[in-house]
Amino acid sequence: MAGFGDVVKKAFYLGVGVASYAGEKAGDTLKDFREQTQGIVNELVARGEITAEEAQRLVNDMVNRAQDATASPAENLPQPRPIEILDDEISDDGAPSAADAQTAALREQVAALRQELENLKQKSSN
């Protein structure tokens, strides 16, 4: 079993390495994005189209949006729809409801089909 322990250990280290590498790449990408944004904004400031304060605000806003988009991708995914589980109970007045009657009819059909299946299995084995 010592071999299995080594495999588990290697798999764990592989996972840690992949996570570390992905984190470094994400940081590099964000750094490159910030540098490109800063370059564009510096050019706009040099042309006199925006002020230095506006430029800094613009860069910070864009970087914050990029960080938010990479930090929480699960929020953008569609959420699972809730499933309601209904009980097979008789209504409060003691009388079975229409749904209870349907349920009972379906249960009878299932029982009949099971019986028919058993009969077919017995016939095929003979």
pLDDT in the model for residue 86: 64
pLDDT in the model for residue 85: 65
Count the alpha carbons within 13 Å of 22 in the hemisphere toward its beta carbon. 8
- Residues 31-61: pLDDT tens digits? 777 788 778 878 878 888 778 788 778 778 8
Structure tokens at 77: 């995914």
Q: Where are the domains of the chain?
A: 2-72, 97-126
pLDDT in the model for residue 1: 47
Residues of the chain with pLDDT under 50: 1
CA-to-CA separations, 13 to 6, 9, 17, 101, in angstroms, rounded: 10, 6, 6, 58
